[in-house]
Amino acid sequence: MPHSEVAPTLSNVSDITEKLEFTLVDGARTQPELTVYALSTCAFCKKAMDFLRKNDYRFRFSYVDNVDPEYKREFKRQLSNRFDVVVVFPILVVNDEKAYSGFTELIWSRAVGIS
C-alpha cells in the first residue's frame, strides 16, 4: 500500500485557542477562571465585559472577529462541539468546563458565582 502523507489540519489541533490572542483584565476575584470570546464590534460584548469589570472579576478575552477566517471557522466549530453551545457572542467559558452563549446578566451572575 503506498504511503500517503496526510497534511495536518486544524481539527488535529488539540488546543482550540492556540492561535487566538488574549487580553487579561485584572480583578480581585480570581475564581472561577473566566474566558470571554467576543466580537470587537458588538455592544452586548462590551456590556458583558463591563459587567465582569464592575464586579471585579479577573478574566481574559479574545476578539474572535480579528482572526484568520479559516482558523476562525474551525475554532467556532470546535468551541460549539466542546461546550455544546450555539456560537452567539459573547461567549463566557467558566473553568474551561462550561460555556454560556450570549450575555444575560442573570445567567452570567449565576455562572460566576454572584448570588
Partner 1 sequence: MAKFSLEQTRLFVQNAATERNWVANTDEAFRDALAEGLNVNVGRYGYYLCPCRDSNGSRERDRDVVCPCTYATDDITEYGHCFCGLFLSPEFAASGNEPQPIPERRPEELI
Binding residues for partner 1, rule: CB under 8 A, are 39-47, 64-65, 69, 72-73, 76, 86-89, 102-104
Q: Which is nearer to partner 1, 55 or 80 (CB)?
A: 80
- Comparing CB distances to partner 1, the nearer of 58 and 72 is 72
Rounded to a whole number of angstroms, the minimum distance from the CB of residue 3 to partner 1 is 34
Taking the complex as a whole, how short is the minimal distance between the CB of residue 86 and partner 1, in angstroms?
A: 6
Measured from the CB atom, the residue of 33 and 105 that comes closer to partner 1 is 105
Q: Report the nearest approach of partner 1 to the CB of residue 102 (Å).
A: 5
Q: Three cell numbers at 72? A: 476562525
Cβ contact 92:34 at 8 Å: yes
Do residues 40 and 61 touch, judged by C-beta distance below 8 A? no
Least distance CB 5 / partner 1 (angstroms): 28
Residue 27 vs 102, nearer CB to partner 1: 102
Nearest 10 degrees: Cα torsion 24, 110, 50, 73: 60
Nearest to 60 by CA among 84, 96, 15, 16: 96
User: Under DSSP, is residue 57 helix (H, G, I), strand (E, B) or coil?
Assistant: strand
